[in-house]
Structure 1
Amino acid sequence: MPPVTHSSHWGAFTATPAGDELHITPFAGDPDPSPLLDNFTDVLRHPARVTRPMVRKGWLEQGPGPDARRGADEYIAISWAQALDLAANELQRVADSFGPQAVFGGSYGWSSAGRFHHAQSQVHRFLNTTIGGYVRSVWSYSSAAASVILPHIAASQDEISRRGVSWREIAEHSEIVLSFGGLALKNSQVASGGMSEHTERGYMRQAAERGAQFISISPLRHDLPDEAAGEWIPVRPGTDAALMLALLHTLWRHGLSDEDFLARYCTGWPTLVASLNGTQDGTVRDAAWAEAICGVPAAHIVALAQRLHGKRVVVTVAHSLQRAQHGEQPVWLGMVLAAALGQPGLPGGGYAYALGALGHYGKAFNRVSFPSLPQGNNGVDEFIPVARIADMLLNTGAPFDFNGQRRRYPHIKLAWWAGGNPFHHHQDLARLRHAFCQLDTLIVHEHSLTATARHADLILPATMTLEREDVGGAPTDRHLFAMHPVAEPWGDARDDFAIFRDIAARLGREEAFTEGRTVREWLQHLYGQMQEKLAQEGVKTPDFDRFWQQGVLTLPQVDDGGRMMRRFRDDPDAHPLPTPDGKIQIYSATIASFNYADCPGHPVWLTPDEQPDAQHPLWLIANQPATRLHSQLDYGRHSARHKQQGKEVCMMHPTDAAARGITEGAMIMLHNLRGAVLAAVTLSENIMPGVVQLPTGAWYDPVDPLAARPLCRHGNPNVLTRDIGTSSLGQGCSGQITVVQVSLFTGDVGEVQAFVPLNQQERL
């Protein structure tokens, strides 16, 4: 088979089969290809692949209903006809008896870079066209708190992140890049829909060579790449808000704040000053106050504030900062700090939320993007913030606060999951398992035996992206790719569209779901819509067959980054921001009216509930992995080669290790009240003392799946993280940091079983 084009969230490539493996060649136009492409080389025939439909024995024999055995039951292999009948009958039962408001459509959207086989679109379209809707989730685990608060203070997260300060502006104009949470290339190497040109490293190098100063404020040195030639200021996890308040106090106290900008373009600066100087409550939020909280010496805080004055400064805040209790506060304060320096709207200056967190951000936009699959109309109004899934299942009918509303959790009987693994991105996994046990039925589409699949009642084997035809593209990627199948589906796997089509047929809704189109016809239809819009722009494109043959199409772009803020700065009356008075909200009367103690009307420092103590003296950072996207292809070659003894690797400072008798490469146990995790350890001075770092994404592998306080022998840190909302405002994920103890582990819990096939019986 000759090489074929394909694409992924971390890069485009050509693939050539070589026996059971693949030879992967990165897209020739990519200046800095992602090493994650190596995860594709050996996954097609991996033992962890799901090759047959399977049903959980207890569910098949006893019928739908809550069951504490989920995650520890046996599975029976069945035929596709049987599986499709079971799925259709159960969906019809729940819809008829309880309505579509008893069905949760679960998907996180990262399954495939292909725009048609986008799993989230497929499952939502299926539920809308067959039963009239579903309970949905809103926002994302990565940025939910920011997505809620940014529209209150300036504009939508998409506007701030995607159309704000660009990498090109930074390379050409910025004098200081002040980055809270860093600019880690492991994060910016991925983008939903694909990323054909990884340019962040080059832009940082260009800026540094021009003389721009990069300053990373983070517990981890490597949150800023070497190319930035930057400065590292270690800070205690979760304390960035206190540091920002102290910087603001210093600017104000020394007459360095841009009072003209604050008066003309902002609302509420005097209110915040009253908090900074102690008028409000007697506490002065100065550098000495912040030192005790964040660990940065007061003199360094003062010096940093003075360095910022008079410079072209862009303030960036990483996703990671808002993935913690009170995570809305550093997002808010990043904007306030940029405003106090008078920077918003200046080329290479201002506020760039989440720059470097995804490859989408800081880039030019396509004039026309490839359209998404229509999802139809959802007749159900009920929803939950995405990270509140366990709360919903455990607290049926209970009230919850969210963004000024008081809502109630719906009663979900059936969850249908495609293209996602909540046992990767959710917190407190013992609590999550208990929550899933409350369902009548959990149906999961999967190409591999993730922990979520191992808790399902019905597992439907799905193809992986390498076995599908699709079109890969993103709004900020100027290349559109024909994604040719690299291999035939393994075993009996089918793509999500085929699975949903056959279930819809059993429900008498096939035509409504497919609109009479095959996969290829849908691709031609969507391509034609894009082609028509480009023609209206005066751009000629090849027909679909020609595009499919050549494999890649270059699209015209427009670089309008920062346009909103520039126009606002030029004339705030003619081009106001989409806030109540058209200005940046340093004080928000709207948020104040909600009366949330955990998110008042102006940004504050609120001490998190969890703090290191004698039993759990170390902070744990559970950040995104460098060797895979989320938990995808954790068994892939690149991910596997970076494990030690088959386990994820935890970074620890030598001082903390020596105090515990721990040496390089030893096996350690991280533990707290929620559970325990085994990992190999690496010692490094690139992490501040008192902090350990264990990335997410190792597949959950509990020694006892039913334990109330599980031990994961593979290294999944979400056994340890807390399942609480960031605040009553955003209700985002707070899984970035928690507290733990670390001990040397010398026991024997057997080999990692996460990738071992299920013990299947045959019943056809």
Structure 2
Amino acid sequence: MPVPWIPSAPASPPADADSYADASPTTSHWGAFGVRHLPGGGIEPVPHPADPSPSPLLGGVPGALRHVTRIHRPAVRRGWLEHGSGPRERRADEPFVEVPWDEALDLAAAELDRVRREHGNRAVFGGSYGWASAGRFHHAQSQLHRFLGQFGGFTSSRNSYSNGTSYVLLPYIVGDPEMVLRGASSWPTITAHTELIVAFGGIPAKNVHVTPGGVTRHTTPGHLAALAARGTRVALVSPLRDDLPDGPATDWYPVRPATDTALMLGLAHTLLHEGLHDQAFLDRYTAGSDVFAAYVLGKTDGTAKDADWASAICGIPADRIRALARRMADARTLVTVTWSLQRAQHGEQPVWAGLALAALLGQIGLPGGGFGHGYGSMGDTGDTGPQTRLPHLPQGPNPVPDFIPCARIADLLLHPGESYDYDGARLRYPDIRLVHWAGGNPFHHHQDLGRLRRAFGRPDTVIVHETHWTATARHADIVFPATTALEREDFGGGRHDTHLIAMHRSADPVGEARDDHAVLAALAGRLGFGERFTEGRTPRQWLEHLYGEWAARTEGAPSFEDFWAAGEWQLPEQPAQQTRTLLADFRADPGAAPLTTPSGRIELASARIAALGLPDCPGHPAWLEPDEWPGAPDAARLPLLLIANQPATRLHSQLDTGAVSLAAKVAGREALQLHPADAAARSISDGDLVRVFNDRGACLAGAVLTGRVRPGVVRLPTGAWFDPVPGHEPPLCAHGNPNVLTADIPSSRLSQGCVGQHALVEVERYEGDPPPVTVRRPPVLLDSDGATSDRLP
């Protein structure tokens, strides 16, 4: 029998102060907690007593800490050790040889030095995504970038897979991206003032427990419950009913995936055609509204984007579209767009169209009205916690100016010297010979993993710091075993967090694992800048130094000794006036508080973008048909639209070896949701093992039948560790990683963002003996004599 799937894992029960007092304090991206040691050597996470809604991910911590896939010792790929550096077609197909620390460090330092001498520093790519730990000193990205900057520089990456498209677009249309990403109405303001929320992509509860650095008090679930109690209505625009909890009064609009922009344009047409828009607001606060209106009304291309036009594309009846537009005009309305919508081809368009729709209503800058971007995408969106910058390790300058948008890593490795467009500039990919990666798993974040495998075969050398034998570690040449946050001292806290947490060491390191700082300090010493990297400080001395500098400019901060003994310091509360939307001053007087756009106003049409002449990102919000959506030509052959969204049971691929994630597996693989009608047409029953496939690859998953997805849609969360079955090309993942199916193309030539949210697929019941899931065991490890290591965990 399959293990029951967990669509939205329940929150952990709050802890009392006495239980927490007996535990070692720490924090994580999923929140603050204590670590209590159990008889027999196990641990138990204890939620912070101030947290009203502790994260369910706490249940995954014990199993991941000492899992058999933890990396115990430095390891070098056998072919690299025997034949030296150079491209390899299949790095992950070879065994690893465990070597002493000094040998591994000598090999890595010599290779870094060789590449610098022979090819220059721009041939080194510093890969780090920043999610390895919530600690501010042992922040893998800061540590690695500091090291490589002092090494002479490196090719870097910009933005993120999560919202990289928006971060490029928003400066053109609102100026500072924080105006909408961090400065929209707070949850208490929404609860008090908002009458209608139109949530494109919903407000997924599964995401609100996670934020960089953590949130000590998870308040969003409580605010959603308050909305329900107040009777605030929510229009959920999503093919997934689980994109909003069941509590609030909800009208579900099960839109066809990738068609939200068409629905927004249909709503805008109704507002314009029926005179329900606020022309005075448009005239005073926006630029280009005439261009946008002419497009919506069909004056520029002869096609009116009315409700009937929109209905044919998005699948929502025209009368429902018109009725929703009228309700929006008759209420204090908040239009929200999740980050998931911009993780798609032409992902700029739903963000821009959503902002334009809110502008037509004239409520931008009003409490609880206007536009929001990211509610339900991250735990701190809408939070009212302090905005204090917490102590952190300075990275220092990077002498090399070359960079890539982060989602273009495979293009970088496969196409050295080729040029590409980005943010209005023409750039060129450097020739990367060495990849140094610490903190992150690109074989989780990236798309088209078969292509990424080929890309990782091209550099001369790949160096990886990792805690577990993830796919990224298995594709490395030199692997350094890294400690987890529980195995070292640090301090941590998130954006808008209410507490700075002292992260006491609560577990001994596994095997010979070392923290990233120790690894990089040893490499820096071999390369001649060890003293400059460490500044003569131990990690504890760094903590005292960074905290001391911060405390000196932070009123009321205790001494480091008192802070460390207490285990935390509650940060001063934010003044009430700072909880207002950042656009309130602009609304009050756009002349005195202009935006940093060319017009000083919200740009519903951008002359700067139009001047770039990009066919995949015109100068105003527009419906652009994506390559993969239910109306595409390939939909006849691949009739199901896959949604590859964030999981409810882990953070990205972290904690996939923990109990919460493992309990959600079906047939031993990741769970695939599909509608009962789609399952019946394919003779698939609940709990069946299925094969999900397209031209890029295939994966195995366990079927879960539910009416909470739109017919024609399947959902397979990201984060299952990539487990390619030998001998399959394109790849077959035995474990259910959806990124064997997603396309590695940019959102547009403007942003070069990620498009990993959608893919056209087909699903069939798997017949015969399935290949085993192997990623829950380490790869083949050899000792220095070439025999299978007898030191396996």
TM-score above 0.5, yes or no? yes
Q: Match for 2:746 among 708, 719, 725? A: 725
Question: Which residue among 549, 557, 571 is the counterpart of 1:555?
Answer: 571
- Matched with 2:229 is 209
Q: Go from structure 1 to structure 2 and tell me whether the alpha carbon gap of 1:2 and 1:205 turns closer, same or farther (over 3 Å shift).
A: closer
- Which whole-Å CA distance do the structure 1 matches of 2:70 and 2:222 have between them? 37
User: Is 1:470 aligned to residue 490 of structure 2?
Assistant: yes
Counterpart among 372, 394, 409 of residue 429 in structure 2: 409
- Alignment of 1:692 with 2:692, yes or no, is no
From 64, 73, 81, the counterpart of 2:102? 81
Distance across 2 between alignment mates of 1:10 and 1:236: 31
In structure 2, C-alpha distance between the alignment counterparts of 1:454 and 1:289, rounded to whole Å: 49
d(CA) in 2 for partners of 1:694 and 1:384? Answer: 28
Is 1:228 the counterpart of 2:244? The answer is no
Structure 2: gaps spanning 5 or more residues: 1-20, 786-793
CA distance in 2, matches of 1:45, 1:512: 34
Deviation (angstroms), 1:41: 1.6
Matches of 2:557 and 2:470 in 1, distance apart? Answer: 41
Letter in structure 1 aligned against 2:696: R
Return the alpha-carbon distance in structure 2 between the equivalents of residues 750 and 520 of structure 1. Answer: 47
Q: Pick one of 197, 205, 224 that aligns with 1:185.
A: 205
Partner Cα separation in structure 2 for residue 528 and residue 634 of structure 1: 37
C-alpha separation in 1, matches of 2:553 and 2:590 = 33
Moved more, 42-51 or 625-634: 42-51
Contact 1:201 1:227 in 2 (8 A): no
Matched, 1:520 2:536: no
Residues 674-753 of structure 1 aligned to structure 2 (within 5 Å): 674-704=696-726, 707-753=728-774
- State whether residues 337 and 372 of structure 2, in contact with CA within 8 Å, keep that contact through their aligned partners in structure 1: yes
Question: What TM-score do the two structures reach when normalised by structure 2?
Answer: 0.94
Tell me the distance in 1 between the aligned counterparts of 2:720 and 2:327: 41
Q: 1:545 aligns with which of 561, 564, 572?
A: 561
Decide which of 625, 630, 633 is 2:655's aligned counterpart.
Answer: 633
Report SS of the residue matched to 1:292. Answer: helix
Q: Does 1:37 align with 2:58?
A: yes
What is the match of residue 528 of structure 2? 508
Residue identity matched to 2:567:
G
For 1:163 and 1:59, locate their aligned partners in 2 and report how far apart those are by CA, in whole Å. Answer: 50
- Provide the rounded CA distance (Å) in 2 between the counterparts of 1:485 and 1:646: 33
Check conservation: 2:563, 2:569, Cα contact below 8 A: yes
**Secondary structure at 2:636's aligned position in 1?**
coil
Q: Comparing 493-502 with 309-318, which one deviates more in the overlay?
A: 309-318
Please list the CA deviations of residues 366-410 of structure 1 after superposition, one character each: whole Å capped at 9, or x if unmatched. 253212211111000110000000011111100100111010011
In structure 1, the gaps of 5 or more residues are: none
CA contact (8 A) 2:90 2:453 kept: no
Separation (CA, whole Å) in 2 of partners of 1:69 and 1:269: 53
4+ long deviations beyond 3 Å: none
2:308 match: 288
Distance between the aligned counterparts of 2:272 and 2:317, measured in 1? Answer: 19
Structure 2 counterpart of 1:565, which letter? Answer: L
Q: Distance in 2 between matches of 1:97 and 1:569?
A: 56
What SS is found at the alignment partner of 1:366? coil
Q: Tell me what 2:85 maps to.
A: 64
Contact 1:421 1:450 in 2 (8 A): yes
Deviations for 1:531-560, whole angstroms, at most 9, x for unmatched residues?
1111xxxx3222111111111110013252
Please name the residue that 1:591 is paired with: 609
Residue in 2 aligned with 1:371? Answer: 391
Letter in 2 for 1:162: R
Query: Hey, what's the Cα distance between the residues in 1 that align with 2:728 and 2:451?
Result: 10
Match of 2:13 in 1: none
Aligned mates of 1:633, 1:492 — CA distance in 2: 21
Question: Which residue of structure 2 lines up, in the alignment, with residue 146 of structure 1?
Answer: 166
After TM superposition, give the deviation of residue 2 of structure 1 in Å.
Answer: 5.5
Alpha-carbon distance in 2 for matches of 1:614, 1:274: 34
Give the total of aligned pairs.
758
2:670 to 627, 631, 648: 648
Contact kept in structure 2, 1:180 and 1:217, CA below 8 Å: yes
Q: Which residue in the other structure is 2:12 paired with?
A: none
* Percentage identity across paired residues of the two chains: 52
Q: CA deviation at 1:307?
A: 0.5
CA distance in 2, matches of 1:27, 1:80: 37
Determine whether 1:758 maps to 2:779. yes
Secondary structure of the corresponding residue to residue 420 of structure 2: strand
For residues 250 and 567 of structure 2, the distance between their equivalents in structure 1, rounded to whole angstroms, comes to: 39
CA contact (8 A) 1:622 1:693 kept: yes
Superposed displacement of residue 365, structure 1? 4.5
1:156: Cα distance to partner? Answer: 2.9
Distance in structure 1 (CA, Å) of the matches to 2:231 and 2:550: 42
Preserved CA contact (<8 Å) 2:336 2:375: yes
* Equivalent residues in 2 for 1:215-364, closer than 5 Å: 215-364=235-384
Give the secondary structure class of the aligned counterpart of 1:7.
strand
Q: CA deviation at 1:648?
A: 0.5
- 2:185/2:581 contact within 8 Å kept: no
1:113 pairs, out of 129, 134, 157, with: 134
| Residue 234 of structure 1, CA deviation | 0.3
- How far apart in 2 are the matches of 1:695 and 1:681? 13
Asked if 1:613 is matched to 2:631, the reply is no
Structure 2: distance between partners of 1:69 and 1:236: 38
Query: Contact 1:220–1:688 (CA<8 Å) still a contact in 2?
Result: yes
CA distance in 1, matches of 2:163, 2:299: 33
Deviations 1:38-92 (A, max 9, x none): 1112222211000010000111111111111211111100000000001110101
TM-score (structure 1 length as normaliser): 0.98
Instruction: Give the Cα–Cα distance (whole angstroms) in 2 for the partners of residues 2 and 587 of structure 1.
Output: 58
Secondary structure of 1:557 counterpart = coil
Bigger drift between 583-592 and 270-279 goes to 270-279
For 1:26, the equivalent position in structure 2 comes to 47
Deviates more, 1:362-371 or 1:167-176: 362-371
Structure 1 CA distance for aligned equivalents of residues 502 and 175 of structure 2? 35
- 1:158: how far off? 2.7
**Could you list the per-position Cα deviations for residues 336-355 of structure 1 after superposition, in whole angstroms to 9, with x for gaps in the alignment?**
11110001110011111111
Q: Residue 270 of structure 1: CA displacement?
A: 1.0
Q: Secondary structure of 1:613's partner? A: helix
Q: Name the counterpart of 1:670.
A: 692
Once residues 418 and 116 of structure 2 are traced to their aligned partners in structure 1, the CA distance between those partners, rounded to angstroms, is 22
**In the alignment, residue 225 of structure 1 is paired with which amino acid?**
P
Match of 1:602 in 2: 620
Post-superposition offset of 1:17: 2.1
Cα deviation digits, residues 239-277 of structure 1 (max 9, x gap)? 000000010000000000111101110011111111111
Q: 1:91 corresponds to which residue?
A: 112
Equivalent position to 1:624, from 627, 646, 654: 646
Could you tell me how far apart the structure 2 residues matched to 1:540 and 1:287 are? Answer: 57
Of 53-62 and 39-48, deviating more is 39-48
Q: 1:635 to 1:679 in 2, by over 3 A?
A: same
Using the TM superposition, name which of 101-110 and 554-563 deviates more. 554-563
Tell me the amino acid that sits aligned with residue 579 of structure 1.
T
Taking the aligned partners of 1:741 and 1:147, their CA distance within structure 2 comes to: 33
1:419 aligned residue? 439
Paired residues of 2:186 and 2:581 also in contact (CA < 8 A): no
Partner of 1:580: 598
For the residues of structure 2 that align with 1:435 and 1:251, how far apart are their CA atoms? 48
Shift of residue 614, structure 1, vs aligned partner: 2.4
SS at match of 1:42: helix
> In the alignment, residue 563 of structure 2 is paired with which amino acid?
F
- Asked if 1:55 corresponds to 2:71, the answer is no
CA contact 1:368–1:533 (8 Å) conserved in 2: no
- The amino acid of 1:83's aligned partner reads A
Looking at structure 1, the residues matched to 738 and 344 of structure 2 have their Cα atoms a distance apart, in angstroms, of 15
The alignment status of 1:399 with 2:419, answered yes or no, reads: yes
Return the letter of the residue paired with 1:438. Answer: R
Greater Cα offset, 550-559 or 448-457: 550-559
The code of the aligned residue for 2:556 comes to K
8 Å CA contact 1:51, 1:461 repeated in 2: yes
